[in-house]
Amino acid sequence: MAPSRSAQVLQNPENFEAGMGVHAYRFKCKCCTGSEWVDLTHACRHEKTYKHARRVAVSSALQAAPRPLSPSLPAPGLLAPTPPPGYHGLLGPLKEAIASFITRADSPAPPVSPLQLATADFEDNHSAMELDLDWDQVDYDLLMRAPDDRLRADAIAANLAAFMDGVSISSDEEPAELDEGIGLVMPDDPDAPNTGIQYGSIRPVRNQAEDDSDPRWFPWPDKETCLLDIMRRLPRSKFSDSQMESILWMARSFGVDDLPSVKVLKSAHDSIKSRFGVPSIRQQGRLGHIYYLNDLGSIIAQEMANPRIRPHLHFYPEDAGKRLEQAWQASRWRRELDPTLATPMIRQRGQDFYILEPAKLSDGRVVVPERWFTRRGPDGTQRFFACVWPTARVTDQRGATGYVVYKSHAFEIDARSLLLPFPTLLRTFDSDGLPDPRNLFGIHDADGHVSPWVLTDPSCGNPWRERAKGHRVKSFMMWLYCDDTSGNVSKKWNKHNSFLFTAAGLPRTMVHQESNIHFLTTSNLAPPLEMLDGIADQLEQAQATGIWAWDCEDQEMVLLIPVVLAVLGDNPMQSELACHVGMKGKFFCRNCWVKGHDAQDNPEPSTSAGSSSLQPHADTESDGASIHSASDTSASEHSTASNARTRNPKRKKRAMETLAQLITRTRRFIGSSTPRHRDESIRALRSMFSDVVSTSHKTNYRNRKTATGLKDTFMEHFVNHLFARPTSRTTSDAVDNTMPVETYMSPIWRIRVGTGLDPHQDTPVEILHVILLGFVKYLWRDATTRMNSEQKQLLIVRLNSTNVSGLGIPRLAGQTLVQFAGSLTGRDFRAISQVAPFVLQGLVPPQCYDTFVALSALVPLVWQPQIEDIDVYLDRLKGAVDHFLLCTARWTPRWFNKPKFHILLHLAEHVRRFGPAILFATEGFESFNALIREASVHSNHLAPSRDIARSFASINLIRHIISGGFFLPRHAPDSDNAEESAPCQHPFSTTARDWLCAGSSVGPLVTIEASRNAAAIAFHLGAIDEQPPPGTAISDGAQPHALQQTCAWARAPHALSELASRSVKTCKQVISQNGDVCRLSDFVLAAKANAPGRTIIGRLSEILQVTGSVFVVSGVALPYHLPSLARQGWLVISAEDVVCSVNVQHNCAAQSCSDSGVEHVREEREVSDRTRRVIVHRVPDALVLNTAQMRDAIHVQRYRLSPEPIDREHAIKTGAEAEIASQRVKNKAQTRAQPPQVRKDVSRAPNLRISTLVHSLPQLPLGG
């Protein structure tokens, strides 16, 4: 007897034939072409595949001929050419003949095999779980009998009938190739196996009817296409075509059938993107370059329709008092923005109130609202308030009554006191005895002058009311960012200038998430200002007419006004965008008029030893304007060609400064200067261009740039064309004298924010490159260079032994930080800034060490994410900046050749205007450069701007769809390039049901196993961002035991008396209020819930709830100038009271700790035989609180100690005198080292050439 095949049965055994002989116990599918003999397990698996089900469906459909298999689908156009004349007349009789041949009544029934008889009642008996056959009784001749000629004829007739009905059945085609317009509708079968695949349609192509797709996977046609398309578009996991082919091959090897080919995937994605995605628009730049720009309005509309983003967006400024945490709480958004751009309306009680038009209050007064803002009420909810201008009733000379608006007497009101908006006031003013609100005769300013009302058309009110047509109007604030990155993975530089943006209305925790940073454009040819011209065009258009978007939270259409809050980037890029000459100019600051060296005093490159005497150690980072556009290159070429004869290639070295000059320059450098303003720069650039047009004097133009510190690289392109024109011509082909001068100026001046974006004041200090990649990098490299080998080894030991608990960083690698001090990253310098006072003590000169201590005290203040009192914070920040600069000046003023030291002075004002410095930091944008590089690598480099733009448009689309975003299908373009040239038309519909979202099976993709979900991680979706609640403890695995056996009972039994009779479990770590994982022996900061202002510092010695020893600040730990800790006792607190972990270091300087310890080195995750020295602490309780810790700075800074005051003049004079003395000593040493010069005899000039030849070639015989 054959063995029993329990738990595996064929549901339709008539579709299989059983084997015999060598194929005994094997089966082959009758329906699928190319089937092989397989065992019962694989036969059951094959029966559940989509391919087999489709073949069975085709066979069943053919049995019903001549009925059309899919009457709802049009006949495919690729099956046959146009029929000849008379074709339809012959088709009907032929089909009837074939149908009668198939369905003739005298056909005998096919033989029934023993296999079929054994399972005849299987479908009626669903409880049957076994198929036990007596294989010895099977008649294999009957079972394996080949079909006769009549059956072959029936099969041919059935295929021919199907062909005539418009369906092509070819058993030789593979499933991936059966999608050229073919469609089969299969009736639902309740008994069909549930394989997770919707049977009933052959895979559709891009132009296939939407009804043929599975609605659960909309907008994709099916599950396979959906998953593969998402996987292909993940930001940091891009796949090439060859890699996708490998993935598809592997999937097929695992038995996954009917997967779409790469071509089908591309076609399906392009179809979806053309209807729902962000268009990439072709731009022809003013300088002649071609680049592609993703539509800004479409990206903003997607954010509004994204249910994961929209609830977090803010559109109104907030009056938070002295508290400052978000951008909408800062003065830039709150007070400085143009009121017409800062959300010009609010809706109260179903009425729309707009700014700059009269409105009536509940007390009868008529006011003109200027701007709206929110303020937290006593109940904790946000309420609308308004800053309004009062009005006075007046009568003009003609006897008409109206209003004069008193701008100088503005006051604030609760928006709930607004009674009638402007349209209602127009209908009721006469009955209320009020003047006509359309009669605004003038506006009274602070100077007492009355000028005509020109802010709006008083007869129509605010123009946005007419544009909105009853819908809400909101402002969408943005951080605009520009930077250059390489498009290559290799070291070969392939510069791509890119523009990115993120929504400034998002909270700080979301604004710099990678998924919330949006790509606009990039190019390896077009300079930044040329691409900014295209962005400015989109901004101007959107600010004039608005962007229609579906608000998924309010379920209505809204009109959006995009506004650039600030322009971010590194220092060279910000200088170029601000039309500034750069950080190597005489006026090196883009924010103010501080003056550096004059042009004739600038140090020039030289090979002599004394040429860089005032420079610190060689710096590989360029502090100047390193972003050179194409126009810069052409300018330098023209300048070089024209001045090659007049310019001396060997300039004189700058003479050494006198003591008075050095003191004056230092005062000027670290002092305050007059700020630059937008209007004066526009006037200067306009005057410079006009002079070039009229005179074409290069020298005058160059001198004007030096005198003003301005360099418009966009305008330089046209200026160079004017310089290159022949002298007989007065015009150039690139310049039209009839056009206004502003046409040839930088597009930065066309961006509106108030009277216009001020690139001098609206380019905030970029703390990553100024501090971490600036001061910390310079000082650390200088410190390590000064050390000898023995000192470096001690520094390495200290770094390896440093306690990093509470800093949120891994254990320091001392060898790397010292050996490669010149090649570290921002993450390394972040760690160095927090531990420098502890590892450098005694290894550098005292004044150098004081500078490091001051810098370490400054860094956590700058990176503080939340400010409780802005006035106190700014005073503290200014004091820390001044203290750091004075310590630097007292050490040596040579550091002030670095302009970054001066730029730091503007940070305090930028924090007041834009919010905490971490908001406009660029770490997130810098990380995004890796995505741009990856997109460049996966293109063919023939059209990089287009390919990269389309790649990020696809990423935006995938993010929007799987986030549950809403979208409205727009008309697909007639050609592939239609969207590249035509402006984008944003979809519009006020009907909620017209807005679609992904199918029901798409959303769960980002919630299933979110911790390992690639899509959820890539786009910050699902539950991956959720942290364990505060107080959550993780057990150490030990068994419960009595409370009396714990350390807590021994130290503080009175605190746990209520638990004396209960068993407890010990834990190894606990979660603090800010999400820190606090482990045993870590130092933590705790505060009672009922007394949040009173905090304690403790060390975790046991975690039941939380038990630890308490420390108090006992004084100043010198020479660190940090708080010293002393043990006070023991205290038991609740786990929920742990605020955060803190970093505590040992006072090694006071206890003279040595590096006499030894520890084994771990290599390849194993303890090796190699050892290294470590620091041995003598008195363990001699502890110092490290207030330089950047993590949780808002909590740790309350223990900050004020630095000792430094006399400003004394510090400047001391540093200048030391520098002058150092230079004199260095010059004397160089003079002694130089060999005496031999005076040449000029009287023998005719023989000079021969004597020189003889001297240079003494080994050659003169006679040849």
pLDDT of residue 438: 93
pLDDT of residue 1105: 53
Higher pLDDT, 1255 or 961: 961
Evaluate whether residue 436 is within a structural domain: yes
pLDDT of residue 926: 92
- 193 shares a domain with 84: yes
> Confidence class of residue 901 from pLDDT cuts 50, 70 and 90?
very high
- Tell me the mean pLDDT in the region 1051-1076: 72
- 186 shares a domain with 98: yes
Higher pLDDT, 521 or 1109: 521
Count of C-beta atoms within a 10 Å radius of residue 1209: 9
pLDDT of residue 987: 86
pLDDT in tens, 917-967: 999 999 999 999 999 999 999 888 899 999 999 999 999 999 999 999 999
- 906 shares a domain with 1045: no
pLDDT of residue 1131: 73
CA distances from 992 to 215, 551, 960, 968 (A): 19, 10, 18, 10
Collect all residues with Cβ–Cβ distance below 8 Å to 1116 and sequence separation of at least 6. Answer: 1122, 1123, 1124, 1201
Distance CA 717, CA 904 (A): 32
Evaluate whether residue 468 is within a structural domain: no
pLDDT of residue 608: 37
pLDDT of residue 973: 56
Domain of 355, in residue numbers:
345-461
Domain boundary among 413, 443, 461: 461
- 1089 shares a domain with 1039: yes
Q: Does residue 173 have a pLDDT over 60?
A: no
- 92 shares a domain with 44: yes
Q: Does residue 1238 have a pLDDT over 50?
A: yes
- 773 shares a domain with 743: no
Q: What is the CATH number of the domain that holds 1096?
A: 2.30.30
Distance CA 500, CA 528 (A): 12
- 774 shares a domain with 637: no
- 827 shares a domain with 720: no
Output b/e per residue, 414-440; b: 16+ Cβ within 10 A: ebeebbbbbeebbeebeeeebbbbbbb
The secondary structure element, H or E, covering residue 563 is: strand 556-568
Q: Does residue 1248 have a pLDDT over 50?
A: no
Distance CA 587, CA 687 (A): 19
979-983, 990-994, 1241-1245, range with the lowest pLDDT: 1241-1245
- 801 shares a domain with 693: no
Q: Does residue 258 have a pLDDT over 60?
A: yes
Q: Does residue 416 have a pLDDT over 50?
A: yes
Query: What global pTM score does this model have?
Result: 0.76
165 near 70, Cβ under 8 Å?
no
Q: Which two tokens stand for residue 476?
A: 């969408």
| Bridge partners (DSSP) listed for residue 1185 | 1144
pLDDT of residue 209: 34
- 812 shares a domain with 720: no
- 1083 shares a domain with 1039: yes
557 near 571, Cβ under 8 Å?
no
- Tell me the mean pLDDT in the region 1085-1113: 71
In the numeric block, the tokens 């038009």 are attached to 357
| Bridge partners (DSSP) listed for residue 479 | 502, 566
Q: Does residue 392 have a pLDDT over 60?
A: yes
pLDDT in tens, 815-869: 999 999 988 999 999 999 999 999 999 999 999 999 999 999 999 999 999 999 9
pLDDT in tens, 753-789: 656 789 999 999 999 999 999 999 999 999 999 999 9
Residue 242 Cα to chain centre, angstroms: 28
Q: Does residue 602 have a pLDDT over 50?
A: no
Distance CA 448, CA 453 (A): 15
Which ranges of 179-235 does DSSP label H, i.e. alpha helix?
A: 223-232
Q: Does residue 151 have a pLDDT over 70?
A: no
The total of structural domains in the chain comes to 5
Evaluate whether residue 118 is within a structural domain: yes
158 near 65, Cβ under 8 Å?
yes
pLDDT of residue 1259: 38
819-833, 1080-1094, 1097-1111, range with the lowest pLDDT: 1097-1111
Evaluate whether residue 1078 is within a structural domain: yes
pLDDT of residue 403: 94
Q: Which of 248-257, 875-884, 1136-1145 has the highest mean pLDDT?
A: 875-884
- Tell me the mean pLDDT in the region 382-399: 92
- Tell me the mean pLDDT in the region 963-988: 70
| Bridge partners (DSSP) listed for residue 1130 | 1109
Evaluate whether residue 781 is within a structural domain: yes
Q: Crossing angle, helix 87-102 and helix 149-164, to 10 degrees? A: 140
Q: Does residue 217 have a pLDDT over 50?
A: yes
Evaluate whether residue 334 is within a structural domain: no
Hey, what amino acid is at 877?
Answer: L
Count of C-beta atoms within a 10 Å radius of residue 45: 13
pLDDT of residue 87: 45
pLDDT of residue 1118: 86
Q: Which two tokens stand for residue 129?
A: 């779980």
Evaluate whether residue 332 is within a structural domain: no
In the numeric block, the tokens 């030991």 are attached to 797
pLDDT of residue 160: 53
- 717 shares a domain with 844: no
Q: Does residue 295 have a pLDDT over 70?
A: yes
100-104, 318-322, 565-569, 1225-1229, range with the lowest pLDDT: 100-104
Domain boundary among 202, 225, 253: 202
Going by the DSSP 8-state scheme, the letter that residue 919 receives in this structure is: G
Using DSSP, state whether 1251 is helix, strand or coil: helix
Q: What angle do CA 823, 828, 829 make, to 5 degrees?
A: 90
Q: In terms of Cα–Cα distance, which of 750, 744, 714 is closest to 732?
A: 744
pLDDT in tens, 1025-1037: 456 677 777 767 6
Evaluate whether residue 853 is within a structural domain: yes
% of the chain at pLDDT higher than 70:
75
CA-based radius of gyration for the chain? 39
Output b/e per residue, 1055-1064; b: 16+ Cβ within 10 A: bbeeeeeeeb
Q: Which two tokens stand for residue 309?
A: 């983003």
- Tell me the mean pLDDT in the region 1018-1029: 62
pLDDT of residue 775: 93
Mean residue pLDDT of the chain comes to: 79
Domain boundary among 393, 427, 461: 461
pLDDT of residue 226: 92
Q: Identify the sign of the CA torsion 880, 883, 889, 890.
A: negative
378 near 364, Cβ under 8 Å?
no
The verdict on whether omega for the bond into residue 317 sits within 30 degrees of 0, i.e. cis, is no
pLDDT of residue 121: 43
Residue 125, CB-side half-sphere exposure with 13 Å CA sphere: 10
Distance CA 781, CA 786 (A): 9
pLDDT of residue 80: 39
Distance CA 776, CA 884 (A): 12
Using DSSP, state whether 118 is helix, strand or coil: helix
Q: Does residue 236 have a pLDDT over 50?
A: yes
269: alpha, beta or left, given left = phi > 0 and alpha = psi -120 to 50? alpha
Q: Does residue 891 have a pLDDT over 50?
A: yes
Q: Crossing angle, helix 262-276 and helix 223-232, to 10 degrees? A: 80
Output b/e per residue, 724-757; b: 16+ Cβ within 10 A: eeeeeeeebebbeeeeebeebbbbbbbbbbbebb
317: alpha, beta or left, given left = phi > 0 and alpha = psi -120 to 50? beta
- Tell me the mean pLDDT in the region 610-624: 38
Residue 462 Cα to chain centre, angstroms: 36
| Bridge partners (DSSP) listed for residue 386 | 372, 413
pLDDT of residue 265: 92
Distance CA 27, CA 32 (A): 12
899 near 596, Cβ under 8 Å?
yes
pLDDT of residue 81: 43
> Confidence class of residue 693 from pLDDT cuts 50, 70 and 90?
confident
pLDDT in tens, 185-215: 333 443 434 433 333 333 333 333 344 678 8
- Tell me the mean pLDDT in the region 79-92: 46
